Structure 1
Amino acid sequence: MAIVTPDLTAAAVALLALTIVSLAGLRGWRDWIQLKREEMNSGHAALAHDPGVPHAGSRIEIADLKERLRKLEAIAAGVDL
């Protein structure tokens, strides 16, 4: 007859918990991918961004690039910021 030790029990519980968390994460990932596929197929992703109006993130990136360019020009000119 096998004797189950507390260490073996703890390891089994930890493995079971890891399995449950992994399966839940995998299910969430698959559902998220399916949601993105449905958005792409329905056209909502394409309609969310009007090509005539820049996206807020791209405006921020452009402003950031302009600021970096200004700093690099100042460095090249020898001006101490």
Structure 2
Amino acid sequence: MEKDFKITATEGLHARPIALLVNAVMPFEAEVQLTYKDKSVNMKSIVGVLSQGVAPGSIVKISANGPDAEPLMQAVSEIMSTKGIGEEC
């Protein structure tokens, strides 16, 4: 299961929104990846996501695979929209 998001936060993906996203996905069993510019990282790793250097207006792909992938993606979508981080494409 995967979704694309356009990053709308004026600072892009920096420490605070990344921490919100990582904390949202940690309780889930599913593996979750964030892909930006053809490079994928484990979305459960703050350092991994930070290393992507995602700028405002960028499109990222979030993919989840596992028994609870669907609720994980719902949690990501909710955090993205309610915290002003990004919007689904």
TM-score range, shorter chain: under 0.3
Q: Does 1 or 2 have the higher relative contact order (CA < 8 Å, sep 6+)?
A: 2
Q: Report which of the two has the higher share of strand.
A: 2
Which has more helix, going by share of residues?
1
TM-score (norm 1): 0.23
TM superposition score normalised by structure 2: 0.21
